[in-house]
Amino acid sequence: MDGINPALSPADLRLERRIFAASHGRDLTPEEQEALERIRPPRTYPVRLAVQAYDGPIAMLPVAQLYARDVPDLSPPEGKDLLQVLWCPFDHPIMPRTLLFWRSAAAVTDILDTPPEPPAVQFDGYLPDPCVLEPEQITEYPDHLELSEELREQLKQLSVPQTAEEGMDPDTYYDCVLSNAPGWKVGGWPAWDATDPSSQPCSECGTDMELLMTVATFEEGDDAGNSWSPHPHPGAGPYPGHRGFNATGVQIGSGYRQHLFVCPAEPEHPHIELMT
């Protein structure tokens, strides 16, 4: 707990989301208002929140389930064709801690009708909404910070006609339209919005790690127009505080991405998490 934000149960957060979705474009009913006030009682500031301790292990939440048949570039370990990503819905220290499970889909037979859930989550954005995966394969290029100054200048000059036509800044056109796709993705290139590029050696064998997956707050960028919009575009999410298209309900930091890097030599070596 952070001592400021109340930790809410997954059930209350899902009810809150259903209420906001159902009341979009109209006033709240008295019953809806009563439910929202129960979930988040009115507070005056400053406020102190008691930190509640929970006995025993806390269940982790599912974040993604990916099959190699749907994601050709997944590159699972030999004999595995399924990746399950789970996380703890609390900061460790600035984002959820993830676990990766590489499995054989044929060996997964004992499936729970109702998976266990944690008693509470630290932030609303740490409770993913279930979504159906519709894979879309795209081509993207490295962040401009990973390119030489000479190549950056060449790309800038090549972009001048497009930027003039689209009313964009030549200095940012490459990053906004051509390089890193926003949104959740498997593979590709990391975005370096909050930090400079850095190599990520495997802690077990020293191999340079590669981007496995990106967990993003938004599915489209602020400045890229419709260049990276999902197709078909479902529209804006109904939840308060969410800008842009957010189908998963996830929020990393104040709108960042959580990159998961794995060792290409041995995907089951410990992975690395970075917020950018």
Distance, CA of 160 to CA of 66 (rounded, Å): 39
**Band of pLDDT at residue 172, cut at 50, 70 and 90:** confident
Chain segment 201-240, per-residue pLDDT in tens = 999 999 999 999 999 998 876 554 556 766 554 444 444 4
What is the maximal distance between C-alpha atoms in the chain? 62
The closest of 224, 268, 217 to 245, measured between CA atoms, is: 217
Q: Are 123 and 10 in contact (CB under 8 A)?
A: no
Number of CB atoms found within 10 A of residue 245's CB: 17
**Band of pLDDT at residue 3, cut at 50, 70 and 90:** low
**Band of pLDDT at residue 55, cut at 50, 70 and 90:** low
Q: Are 3 and 48 in contact (CB under 8 A)?
A: yes
173 three-class SS: helix
Q: What percent of the chain has pLDDT over 90?
A: 53
Distance, CA of 111 to CA of 50 (rounded, Å): 36
Instruction: Give the mean model confidence (pLDDT) for residues 71-89.
Output: 93
Which backbone phi and psi does 37 adopt, to 5 degrees?
-70, -30
pLDDT of residue 1: 55
C-alpha 184: how far from chain center: 6
The closest of 1, 81, 113 to 48, measured between CA atoms, is: 1
**Length of the chain as a residue count:** 276
State the chain's mean pLDDT as an integer. 85
Q: Are 217 and 125 in contact (CB under 8 A)?
A: yes
